[in-house]
Structure 1
Amino acid sequence: MGTFKIEGGHRLKGKIQPQGAKNEALQILCAVLLTPELVTINNIPDIVDVNKLISLLKKLGVKVEKLGKGSYSFKADEVNLKYLESQAFKEDGKGLRGSIMIVGPLLARFGKGYIPKPGGDKIGRRRLDTHFEGFINLGAKFRYNKEDLFYGVEADRLKGAYMLLDEASVTGTANIVMAAVLAEGTTTIYNAACEPYLQQLCKMLNRMGANISGVGSNLLVIEGVDALGGTDHRMLPDMIEIGSWIGLAAMTKSELTITNVSWDDLGVIPTVFRKIGITVERQGDDIHIPAHTDGYEVQNYIDGSILTIADAPWPGFTPDLLSIILTVLTQARGSAVVHQKMFESRLFFVDKLIDMGAKIILCDPHRATIIGHDFKSTLKATTMTSPDIRAGVSLLIAALSAKGTSTIHNIEQIDRGYENIDERLRAIGAKIERV
């Protein structure tokens, strides 16, 4: 189990460039299974979860070639379907939640897709019903082995259908879209997710020869085609990492510039940080955060009531940044409520912030009230364990702002989502050591 040692209380300065988007990569990489032709993808982040998926594709028989930093080519012209029914696949597929998205492309192109119950963050129930109900709507037969926790779907040829998704699941929408592009006839998906990463997937599929309309809305119409071809694709910067760096700058009273952020794809993220008093300046396609030497003050609502920050499907605020927002609020001037609607275990990391001296009332598994210190009392260094990717980075930000030397164990969780984070932080002045 890896460990970070962090000496907090130092101001940082400089420029930092966000990595390619993790959540986009998990969708885009699975889409290479839809064609036997060459697909080239750029700006792929070098992180554990993405590397696991690339390894899984190789074991499936996909020819993978690294062209340079973050650039790979993929050719799925000799897919080994026998691997899907092997014990090795049952083990390999368990360790990564993103592996669920190989099912749609495999089902569409080869008539069958299997997956063991996938892993991922322990942040509460993350059901797969939306995925499989979508495949069943397209005509697939579903089976589930309870003993092995093994899912399977099979169909001779999928047929287009109308469906109203029970939730605007990003991975569920992506999986159904990848299945529907090769289905016979028209598929209509209402209550579809419309995140920028899902838009990126749809645009890539259209370049490959798919016929998807309504991209960017929650109503997608897909006219099935017989085959898809190759393409080149470049992934967006990771909006969650961008939000993490905004929070880091504010908590450490640092002046930072986050470069090449694809501002127009950030949605309400800059607005939400501004609501808690952080100055977010647009400079071309960069974000500049000045040093908040006098702190930052939370805005109340017009009637004076306490600010509530809640997650919502896009274009609402992404749930992946609520842990960051909560941490940054611990040093704000004022109070706020954080309402995490999607996952019932995601706020349970606040006990570690409380140990550091933060004033947080955990109202229930979904809501926390934070009373900011206004930097009149700094957080205290401590030893803690990272429970998941986003909480891990939140604790890292807290440690970098705290007085003294903190230790964070289980940093493999952070490495799952953030590329060489210790090296990149040292480059802007952070005192962080990987033990």
Structure 2
Amino acid sequence: MIPDVPKSSDPEPGSFINHADTLASNPLGFQSINREVHLRIEGGRRLHGDITLKASKNAAVALLCASLLNYGLTRFLNFPRIEEVTRIIEVLESIGVKINWRDSNTLELRRPKRLMLENLNEEAARRTRSVLMLIGPLMHDHAEFDIPYAGGCKLGERTIKPHQYALEEFGVSITATEKRYTVKVGKKAPGEMTLYETGNTVTNNTILAAACMAEETFIQAASCDYMVQDLCYFLQSLGVEIEGIGTPLLRIRGLPKIKKNIEYTPTEDPIEAMFFISAAVTTDSEITIRQVPFRWIALELTKLKKMGLKYTLSSSYKAANGYVDLADITIHRHWGKLSALPDKLHPNVWPGLNPDSLPYFVPIAGVATGRTLIHDWIYEQRAIYYAELSELGIKVELLDQHRVHVRGPSELIKANMSCPPALRPASLLLIGMLAASGVSILRNVYVINRGYEDLAARLNTLGASVEVFS
């Protein structure tokens, strides 16, 4: 049975304050979907100084979708202003959610009593795969609805079957029609269920489906990754009971109706930490990265240590949300003395090496002595994009669509290139250009701006020379 929409007599949980700094004012210059932005990089400079991480992209988009469960005022602090977030905000605004940036990184949201799904911004929705996570929240007060096909990085065939199988347990059917998914809901409590695939997005969707079920849901084979944990912590703050956070076994008892004023700060981005680590290593620089959720990249740091990298880890302290342990990491110069690992590098579910961390080992392997086998088995085509680093002088041999050999050390050279249609491979080109002597051009960096906030300016604070132009 679909729960009733809250009655108009329900007291409003708090006033929504309008401010001049709205999304429409675009104070940080978000890139238009149709406007190309490029970078001019004067490379060969050694980086120095310190940089503070922004909040996680992958956690942020899940939290935006989760805000639809709350009829109260949701306020996110230190929220990333990136293109991926902007696309989801455009979708939410189009269906009636009131959204306001109180300052550069404080975001307020309040959903209406009735969402206007017929007005959904399809152009924005098709630019991100995160729209799939709208199904979990929307199933609680809509018997039938459509969402456009999901977009995002072009990394080969990415099936939604795991989402279909998981949500079927809640009485949801998803049918693919022309350019959209039709969702029909006959809501039921699944009790105990096992996910078909241990993926982050499907785990989040399943958690969001369980969050408004009064009956207990037991989920087996859940992802334990950082964005899943962040979503769980947020839902706990709303009053949802969740046991087993950080394990593949989740026990959830939800609330049929959530109406609460809440303030939550997502945790800093471990993948952004890996970007800056890779940039420091590839340019043989010493920098300090602050507010790193170091336990979420523990294996990555161990691999780097075995390659000969020296780094210093500060004492740990809690993130602003009170849950996650952070530390400051200083990456020291390696002076060209890194060695390739004797075994392959490959991703796995947490606590394995994160799939989004793996690409950042490609330029690192390019400055290490020896040959490194990188096996990116999760995505069908991402390894193909790694071969583009060859244009910058890194010796990359493509073995098949999943595996590359990287031989180092390489002397990096300048280049004029366009970004591939995938976030992490595109950012690798930027790292390579930072290390290459001379002026390089990186064209159409929209895909990088999907995941990294104000990256050119932040790199320039570290001594880089990166100019944005269009």
- Common fold, TM-score beyond 0.5? yes
The runs of 4+ residues in structure 1 deviating greater than 4 Å are: none
Deviations 1:12-59 (A, max 9, x none): 110111111000001011111002111111121111011111121111
Could you say which residue in structure 2 is the equivalent of 1:378?
411
Pick which of 175-184 and 390-399 moved more: 175-184
Equivalent residues in 2 for 1:22-421, closer than 5 Å: 22-81=57-116, 84-86=117-119, 89-145=121-177, 147=178, 149-230=179-260, 231-284=262-315, 285-299=327-341, 306-373=342-409, 377-387=410-420, 388-421=422-455
Measured after TM superposition, the shift of residue 314 of structure 1 is: 1.0
Cα gap change, 1:165/1:127 in structure 2, threshold over 3 Å: closer, same or farther?
Answer: same
Pick which of 262-271 and 127-136 moved more: 262-271
Q: Does 1:430 align with 2:464?
A: yes
Other structure's SS at 1:257 match:
strand
8 Å CA contact retained: 2:297, 2:354: no
What TM-score do you get using the length of structure 2 for normalisation?
0.86
Other structure's SS at 2:162 match:
helix
Measured after TM superposition, the shift of residue 112 of structure 1 is: 4.0
Could you say which residue in structure 2 is the equivalent of 1:12?
47
Other structure's SS at 1:347 match:
helix
- Distance (whole Å) between structure 2 residues aligned to residue 134 and residue 273 of structure 1: 37
Q: Which amino acid aligns with 2:107?
A: Y
- Distance (whole Å) between structure 2 residues aligned to residue 365 and residue 238 of structure 1: 28
Could you say which residue in structure 2 is the equivalent of 1:302?
none
Q: Where does structure 1 lack aligned partners over 5 or more consecutive residues?
A: 300-305
Other structure's SS at 2:49 match:
strand
8 Å CA contact retained: 2:286, 2:332: yes
Measured after TM superposition, the shift of residue 162 of structure 1 is: 2.2
- Distance (whole Å) between structure 2 residues aligned to residue 392 and residue 176 of structure 1: 30
- Residue-pair matches, total: 421
- Distance (whole Å) between structure 2 residues aligned to residue 105 and residue 333 of structure 1: 50
Other structure's SS at 2:291 match:
coil
- Distance (whole Å) between structure 1 residues aligned to residue 439 and residue 405 of structure 2: 27
- Distance (whole Å) between structure 1 residues aligned to residue 203 and residue 181 of structure 2: 18
Q: Where does structure 2 lack aligned partners over 5 or more consecutive residues?
A: 1-35, 316-326
What TM-score do you get using the length of structure 1 for normalisation?
0.93
Pick which of 17-26 and 223-232 moved more: 223-232
Identity between Structure 1 and Structure 2 (%): 31
8 Å CA contact retained: 1:93, 1:116: yes
8 Å CA contact retained: 1:194, 1:314: yes
Give the root-mean-square deviation of aligned CA atoms: 1.6
- Distance (whole Å) between structure 2 residues aligned to residue 74 and residue 6 of structure 1: 37
Could you say which residue in structure 2 is the equivalent of 1:303?
none
- Distance (whole Å) between structure 2 residues aligned to residue 354 and residue 260 of structure 1: 33
